[in-house]
Chain A
Amino acid sequence: MEEDLKLVDQVLKGNIDSFNILVNKYELSIFKFTYNMIRDKEAAEDITQEVFIIVYKKIYTYNREYKFSSWLFQVARNKCIDFMRKYKRVYEANIEDEKTSCSKGISPEAMAELRETKKEIQTFINTLEELDREILVLRYSGEVTFIEIASILNINKATIKRRYYKIRERYRDFISPNETRCKI
């Protein structure tokens, strides 16, 4: 965090290299987040670009009490929401179109199973509220802590954790509706 603050200070003094470092550090995380929010590669790239341009323009408004990355995710989240409202897209994942390069070396059976799991998760995610979806995306794609998620979504940490565990519980019920875990 200290390092980011120093870079921000340098940017405010007109040092472009510092901003370059910040872009380099967070570009992939922001892209991962935006892509998982809107599931459109080109749009996610555009939004990522836009996020950093806005962040540069408004970096003097950054509140140093929070992590710089949290602020970035907040801007990215707002941009994704704008995009989804503008194009009325609600998280339409196109699993069929996704490359499966990573799956090279996996048996066809395992690959089929993987695709099936992804479809299941996608169907499940489509049933979630927007906030729950954001929590999941931040938790798994942004790999941010609950405290950071709370800061990004402006909700307290306990609520985030409660909702997150509820989502997992719902997913368990979703994938195996007839199984009930024994309660002790």
Chain B
Amino acid sequence: MNCDTFHRKIEDLLDEDCLMDFKNSMEEHRDNCASCKAIYEEELEIQKDFKEFFSIKDIEFKSSRTEIINAINKNQYKNNYLIQIYTHLNRHKNRYMTCAAAFIMLFLVAPNISKLFGFEQLNSDLFKFSSFKSSSSSASATTSMPSQDLAMSYDSGLGNSAVAKSNNVQETNNITFKKLEMDRGYKVIPRDTWKTSSNGKYSACVDGGTKNTVLGIRKIYVKENTTEKLWSFTINNNLDPLNTPLFLEWSQKDKMFMVIVGKATGTITEGGDIYVLNVD
């Protein structure tokens, strides 16, 4: 212990706010150092003066306990279940808050657990949303697609089975397709091949180009195999002008096929949105 340390810690010694060992060494130094002892005594004197100033020994204190007890409502806490419940909740709030936090975490995490472990299966209701109404009365033969029905899209890998790849179901833009009847004999060069529906009534393809290359805006062509009637489908209210049909596959329902819509430029290896289109 030196004088410097003693000066810095003198307040702690006065307030007895230090450990016993430290206090002993401080006291030892004080008793052996005349200047530090003088400082300590001066500080002690100040402390005594303050204590004297704030003491109320000059004041005659009269207890108001009786008045206090008379003034309070003695039945306030008798059989007051609301206050008892409040007190209970207040006392155990940490426990309740922990439980609440655990439930919230569970609620937030549970939907993602299956994704984390890859257990999610294809939603059998995939096609449930695909039915949509057609506006056959429209002069332009535009197929209107109600937002609830067609605003379902599915992330997919291009070139793979669209169904097998559909994982994260999400709501996206409300894209509609414009349906137009083509002249008989109109020559279509399919991008891949014509794909025939399971009952053989219809065939469909995306027109022209080579798979996975720079494409440009494409159309979907659907023909009725018996009558040779041909229709084209183009994206109507395209929010992104570069969106184009890239790939299609018939669903197990004969009048519906799924279209992957992606960018018209560049080579796409994955991504794109799937829309389900009803031929009618």
Contacts and interface: CB of A to CB of B under 8 A. Distances in A.
B69 interface: yes
B54 A137 contact: yes
B53 A57 contact: no
Interface residues of A, number: 55
A118 B46 contact: no
A28 B76 contact: no
B50 interface: yes
Contacts of A145: 17
Contact of A60 (B55, B65, B90): B90
Interface in A22-40: 23-24, 27-28, 31-32, 35-36
Contacts of B57: 102
B84 interface: yes
Interface string A8-33: 00011110100110011001100110
B63 to A, nearest CB: 6
Top 10 nearest A-B pairs (CB, nearest first) are A14-B78, A140-B54, A141-B54, A14-B77, A121-B53, A56-B72, A52-B68, A49-B64, A184-B3, A184-B4
A70 to B, nearest CB: 17
Given A32-B56, A114-B52, A168-B46, A16 B69 contact: yes
A56 B76 contact: yes
Interface residues of B, number: 47
A165 B11 CA distance: 7
Chain B facing A: main interface SS: helix
Given A23-B69, A102-B57, A12 B83 contact: yes
Interface of B: 2-4, 7, 11, 15, 17, 35, 39, 42-43, 46, 49-65, 67-69, 71-79, 83-84, 86-87, 90-91
Contacts, number: 114
A12 B61 contact: no
A12 B54 contact: no
A146 B17 contact: yes
Given A49-B68, A146-B17, 4 more contacts: A56-B68, A60-B90, A117-B49, A140-B53
